[in-house]
């Protein structure tokens, strides 16, 4: 399943005798299965369906009523295993390359989305003039190539899919859905009342059928919220949303979390030391629901020091820790954002207040009470102050603040 297999087996052959010799340690590690990390399905192991997938048409997917999508009316989508597999299988441009329009169609997005991916360097874009005797607008007919790195239709990170450390297992993730799977899910149109905010050509004629009037791109208002626009106010179609079958809230993505597949050695070990009910207790519900209902844990971030430990813990069901498995040389820590963070040169009055109260040797709860904020926020501002003054501890921070002439301690107000 994973390229990490050899590394993993080496570590397991070293740790397993220690666990066999020490039952307390084994119980401690088995108890990790009850932690949130192993109870929540990871995003990488979730099959996701976009509500605005352009392939969701009555031609490809059973819908009731079948004319509702064209008329922008709420409807029911009948999801079966073949439908889900067709909607989530990885999309490749093929060799040598595919027409941009065709590729966008197979991915279920508009061509502008694929163009943006090409502009970001994710796809190779070539323009050929006079291809198939077509007109040469914009410098030629655009063709794209994924360079044998297929895109994931259900991922919103420009369809790049999970982190490369997970390998290519996600290509076959949809195959884990049972063949007899069936679920009917509501899909509703979303509109908003500011018709000038969108260039979409369809202004809806019957505003009563559209729910959830939402406003995007408007400045935050102060004071009481203005009344919602009346039913006679024109509204514009703003895309589709799923209605989560569990909480009935609207959402853009629906998730189906298959259980994380474990290596054979770990499965056998769990079988020997856990009852069947205990083993199956962590399996998520086999149904589509929103991110909150499934409590999906976000994707892997190499910015976190815990990233490797997270991978090892997931793949070993908590029996191994990250420091016990050597990181293979081919695993590269990919940064999500290449640009470095710049310090913001703006006043931070709340941090200044926290610094002044710290100088008076107040504790976090006292500062929180004084400023009417939570202790967590105080900790956050203190951390920001330590970073800004390039010190490690609060004592050093106080020392630095005392020696800085610009910051003078104020008497504490009653
Ligand atoms: Zn939900």
* Span 251-293, pLDDT tens digits: 999 999 998 888 888 889 999 888 877 777 778 889 999 999 9
CA of 288 relative to ligand 1 center, distance in Å? 9
Cβ proximity of 147 and 124 under 8 Å: yes
Q: Which CATH architecture has domain 352-403?
A: Orthogonal Bundle (1.10)
pLDDT of residue 406: 56
Examine the pLDDT at 300 and tell me if it is beyond 50.
yes
Lowest mean pLDDT of 1-5, 209-213, 279-283, 350-354, name the range: 209-213
CA of 224 relative to ligand 1 center, distance in Å? 29
pLDDT of residue 88: 92
Phi, psi of 160 (to 5 degrees): -80, -20
pTM for this prediction:
0.72
193-199: average pLDDT: 63
CA of 240 relative to ligand 1 center, distance in Å? 16
Lowest mean pLDDT of 190-194, 238-242, 293-297, name the range: 190-194
CA of 242 relative to ligand 1 center, distance in Å? 10
Q: Where are the domains of the chain?
A: 5-46+257-324, 47-90+159-215+232-256, 91-151, 352-403
CA of 226 relative to ligand 1 center, distance in Å? 29
pLDDT of residue 207: 47
pLDDT of residue 95: 75
CA of 37 relative to ligand 1 center, distance in Å? 20
232-257: average pLDDT: 89
Examine the pLDDT at 200 and tell me if it is beyond 80.
no
Percent of the chain with pLDDT over 90: 41
pLDDT of residue 136: 65
Burial 336-364 (b: 16+ CB within 10 A, else e): eeeeeeeeeeeeeeebebbbbbbbeebeb
CA of 292 relative to ligand 1 center, distance in Å? 6
Phi, psi of 99 (to 5 degrees): -65, 140
340-355: average pLDDT: 76
pLDDT of residue 344: 62
CA of 33 relative to ligand 1 center, distance in Å? 24
pLDDT of residue 6: 78
pLDDT band with cut points at 50, 70 and 90 for residue 2: low
Examine the pLDDT at 313 and tell me if it is beyond 90.
yes
Q: What tokens were used for 9? A: 């087996």
314-325: average pLDDT: 91
Examine the pLDDT at 107 and tell me if it is beyond 70.
yes
Examine the pLDDT at 304 and tell me if it is beyond 90.
no
CA of 243 relative to ligand 1 center, distance in Å? 8
More reliable by pLDDT, 184 or 331: 184
- Render 343-409 in DSSP notation, one character per residue: PP-S--HHHHHHHHHHHTT--HHHHHHHHT--HHHHHHHHHHHHHHTT-SSHHHHHHHHHH-SS--P
Lowest mean pLDDT of 79-93, 179-193, 223-237, 366-380, name the range: 223-237
């Amino acid at each position: 399943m994973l390229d990490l297999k050899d590394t993993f087996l080496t570590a397991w052959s070293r740790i397993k005798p220690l666990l066999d010799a020490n039952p307390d340690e084994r119980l401690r590690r088995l108890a990790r299965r009850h932690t949130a990390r192993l109870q929540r399905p990871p995003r990488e192991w979730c099959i996701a369906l976009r509500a605005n997938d352009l392939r969701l048409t009555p031609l490809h997917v059973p819908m009731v009523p079948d004319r509702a999508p064209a008329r922008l009316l709420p409807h029911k989508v009948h999801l079966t295993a073949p439908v889900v597999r067709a909607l989530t299988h990885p999309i490749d441009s093929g060799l040598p390359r595919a027409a941009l329009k065709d590729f966008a169609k197979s991915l279920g997005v508009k061509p502008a989305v694929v163009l943006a991916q090409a502009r970001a360097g994710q796809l190779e874009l070539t323009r050929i003039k006079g291809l198939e005797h077509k007109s040469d607008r914009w410098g030629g007919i655009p063709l794209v190539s994924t360079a044998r790195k297929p895109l994931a239709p259900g991922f919103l990170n420009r369809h790049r899919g999970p982190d490369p450390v997970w390998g290519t297992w996600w290509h076959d993730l949809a195959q884990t859905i049972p063949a007899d799977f069936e679920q009917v899910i509501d899909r509703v149109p979303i509109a908003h009342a500011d018709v000038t905010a969108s260039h979409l050509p369809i202004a809806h004629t019957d505003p009563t059928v559209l729910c959830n009037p939402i406003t995007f791109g408007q400045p935050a208002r102060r004071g009481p919220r203005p009344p919602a626009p009346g039913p006679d106010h024109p509204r514009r179609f703003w895309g589709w949303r799923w209605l989560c079958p569990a909480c009935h809230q609207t959402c853009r993505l629906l998730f189906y979390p298959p259980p994380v597949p474990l290596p054979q050695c770990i499965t056998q070990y769990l079988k020997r030391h856990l009852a069947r009910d205990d083993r199956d207790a962590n399996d998520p519900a086999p149904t589509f629901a929103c991110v909150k209902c499934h409590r999906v844990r976000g994707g892997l971030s190499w910015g976190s020091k815990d990233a490797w430990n997270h991978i090892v813990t997931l793949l070993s069901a908590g029996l191994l820790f990250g420091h016990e498995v050597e990181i293979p040389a081919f695993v590269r820590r990919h940064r999500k954002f290449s640009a470095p963070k710049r310090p913001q040169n703006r006043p931070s009055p709340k941090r200044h207040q926290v610094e002044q109260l710290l100088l008076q040797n107040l504790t976090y709860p006292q500062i929180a009470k004084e400023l009417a904020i939570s202790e967590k926020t105080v900790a956050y501002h203190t951390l920001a102050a330590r970073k800004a003054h390039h010190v490690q501890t609060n004592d050093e921070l106080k020392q630095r603040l005392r020696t800085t002439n610009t910051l003078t301690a104020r008497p504490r107000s009653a």
